[in-house]
Structure 1
């Protein structure tokens, strides 16, 4: 059995950022990874995926993008290569092919049993991220087997989708991008729209991420009034990583003859039930976008930054349908793509820190069990907690908590 101060579970961006910060403070630790470094980027992302943030925002503690295309957007494999390089230059003590099977109390710390053997540690950082299990509703099992169902974890490219119509459920960034990709591949596409966050790719002469970064909106601390359920349900911005600065929206999809419908709320055999509130969801989303752009404009004014004026984006110009159900067969739909996000899964965490839904109870990544911490969860400490560019600040905070727990002397933070 190996004994160390800290076990980090997961070698994605969160786990590697934690490792870098622990190493900088001289704390002995081991990173356990179920597969290989950046495993999910290699194996659980669709082929054409690009980051929503420009390359210059690809920053982790002690390591940042240094290529010749700072305003470009990394592809899936480029993100994986970036993280693999980060692990190497950080000398991260990663043990691969080491799925964790149990974390249990042991003396003044924890016993961690894994595929690579047992470890004893005084602290554990759970850095498995936010994308464990696709968030597919239980009632989806009642949809007829003649309708193929696939989640974004298993979708790679349009060629794997059967000919015929496709229903994409979910209208955040992923849902819109896949609806567009499938339509361009020749499928008739219907998209089910719930809560969403429309955002222009460029605003007042710059990429919108540049304004969100400069104004501090992305790094805003999580409000004390935001409960965990709402934090986990925050929709991603409706953006696509594109060097041409193009927008993606319900309007752009409608112009491609994609049909928007309201939220799918149930289903059986060849029919799904719809909420009928598409107009209301669009109105709320437009207010959300207006509020965000107003905050950017206010910061531009207060900071004295020169920026051209842009015309306000218009609400979608199509007429939203109100029907209460969708006959999949009559619509020619042969495939449902679930772009409804993910939930977390911790069957190996044998400690009293999970709620009734199986989610980790924590406050800013600090659990009620001394020495047990989390990292990489949505809006965990800041708005950008799940961004590659945001997880580093969270990692520094959590490692400071670990230092206090261990009673070690704190050293300077990583620049």
Structure 2
């Protein structure tokens, strides 16, 4: 049986960043990746997708951005190539096409069952990402049209003819709706809870403000309610080259028809909640609070004129029920996000809700850590540019754990 000091599960940006930090700590380790390095950046994204964060923010330990377009947004395929180059330059010990099917305890450490044979490790890090299993509600299977998850969408031309119903209005949903509409397709967007932020505010990218004010790096320990923060949807942002906003107001202005949250889909009939107005009002209020915090940090006087932002026209009728056939809908795209599945973890580290129990990345099982999860240690823990500092901290904790373990064994 093969053995290593540290087993890192996941070869994306989190796993590779940690590998770099473990190497700097002279710790023996192996990174297990079930596919190719950075493969999900290419296999679970649509053709035109770009990163939501500007290039200057997408740094990793030992890999600052030094290109010619710091304020641009990288195509996902280019970022995948950048990660593969990072792994090669770091000589990261990655085992590709090696899926970990279970992790359990064994004498002196952990036992990993993998598709290429068993491994023993003194410490394990789960770097699989905050959500890695596409989520599709049960009602999606009851609809007359075959369900297409946003991870399966590639381009407008790949869809059947007709109108498109997009379910979900977070980052993926609004971007897909925008691309479909710009291609000439008629689109209906079913909106649930969402978060709105402008691409730019007072002449700067919104992420520049979020970084400078310290909002991105805010420790989770300072949050009023971690549970509430974890339920927040991703902002309606897009990394378009023209830096245009992609939110409900801009989509409506381009001809996208808005509806409330989908509450049922049965055969030919889709039913919507009457909650569009309330969800829009909540998102606008949240955006206002964030922008007021930015202005206050910048020392701007109260009442300063604000850049004009379009608003959703709530006077327009929204459907409560519609027939897919009568409406001429040819495809339904479920931008309903991802979920977590820790069934392969044969360890007592899951909460009753199925979440991974941890405190700043350290689980209740000594030697088992997490990295790359949303709000792991701070607000940007799941960002490309936020995982590096977390990786450095986790690598330090692992180094101390292994030293103490060695002293106890001696």
**TM-score between the two structures when normalised by the length of structure 1:** 0.92
* Cα distance change, pair 408–47 in 1 and its aligned pair in 2 (3 A): farther
Task: Give the corresponding residue for 2:137.
Answer: 137
From 323, 337, 343, the equivalent of 2:339 is 343
Task: Give, in angstroms, the shift of residue 27 of structure 1.
Answer: 1.1
SS at match of 2:152: coil
Task: Give the corresponding residue for 2:389.
Answer: 393
State the Cα RMSD in Å: 2.0
Check the 8 A contact 1:71/1:243 in 2, yes or no.
no
| Gap runs ≥5 in structure 2 | 406-410
Task: Give, in angstroms, the shift of residue 24 of structure 1.
Answer: 1.2
Q: Deviations over 1:205-245 (max 9, x none)?
A: 111111111111111112454345x4443212211113332
Task: Give the corresponding residue for 1:413.
Answer: none
Check the 8 A contact 2:195/2:232 in 1, yes or no.
no
Task: Give the corresponding residue for 2:399.
Answer: 403
Q: Distance in 2 between matches of 1:356 and 1:258?
A: 40
Task: Give, in angstroms, the shift of residue 401 of structure 1.
Answer: 2.4
Task: Give, in angstroms, the shift of residue 358 of structure 1.
Answer: 3.3
Check the 8 A contact 1:10/1:32 in 2, yes or no.
yes
Task: Give the corresponding residue for 2:196.
Answer: 198
1:177 and 2:175 equivalent?
yes
Count matched residues: 402
1:300 and 2:308 equivalent?
no
Task: Give the corresponding residue for 2:271.
Answer: 273
Check the 8 A contact 1:53/1:73 in 2, yes or no.
yes
Check the 8 A contact 1:124/1:371 in 2, yes or no.
yes
Task: Give the corresponding residue for 1:384.
Answer: 380
SS at match of 1:167: strand
Task: Give the corresponding residue for 2:225.
Answer: 226
Q: Distance in 2 between matches of 1:189 and 1:348?
A: 39
Q: Distance in 1 between matches of 2:229 and 2:136?
A: 19
Deviates more, 1:158-167 or 1:278-287: 158-167
Q: Distance in 2 between matches of 1:224 and 1:253?
A: 32
* Cα distance change, pair 363–326 in 1 and its aligned pair in 2 (3 A): farther
Check the 8 A contact 2:252/2:312 in 1, yes or no.
no
* Cα distance change, pair 190–323 in 1 and its aligned pair in 2 (3 A): closer
Task: Give, in angstroms, the shift of residue 329 of structure 1.
Answer: 2.3
Task: Give the corresponding residue for 1:53.
Answer: 53
Check the 8 A contact 2:181/2:187 in 1, yes or no.
yes
1:118 and 2:118 equivalent?
yes
1:239 and 2:272 equivalent?
no
| Gap runs ≥5 in structure 1 | 410-415
Check the 8 A contact 2:101/2:344 in 1, yes or no.
yes
SS at match of 1:64: coil
Q: Deviations over 1:165-221 (max 9, x none)?
A: 111111111111100111122221100111111111111111111111111111111
**TM-score between the two structures when normalised by the length of structure 2:** 0.93
Task: Give, in angstroms, the shift of residue 309 of structure 1.
Answer: 6.0
Task: Give, in angstroms, the shift of residue 335 of structure 1.
Answer: 1.2
1:210 and 2:201 equivalent?
no
From 313, 316, 322, the equivalent of 2:309 is 313
Q: Deviations over 1:320-366 (max 9, x none)?
A: 54553333222221211011110012332111222344332222222
SS at match of 1:103: strand
Check the 8 A contact 1:111/1:120 in 2, yes or no.
yes
Task: Give the corresponding residue for 2:251.
Answer: 253
* Cα distance change, pair 366–231 in 1 and its aligned pair in 2 (3 A): farther
* Cα distance change, pair 364–156 in 1 and its aligned pair in 2 (3 A): same
Task: Give, in angstroms, the shift of residue 64 of structure 1.
Answer: 1.8
* Cα distance change, pair 27–349 in 1 and its aligned pair in 2 (3 A): same
Task: Give, in angstroms, the shift of residue 139 of structure 1.
Answer: 2.2
Q: Distance in 2 between matches of 1:293 and 1:84?
A: 37
Deviates more, 1:251-260 or 1:347-356: 347-356
Q: Distance in 1 between matches of 2:357 and 2:72?
A: 37
* Cα distance change, pair 408–158 in 1 and its aligned pair in 2 (3 A): farther
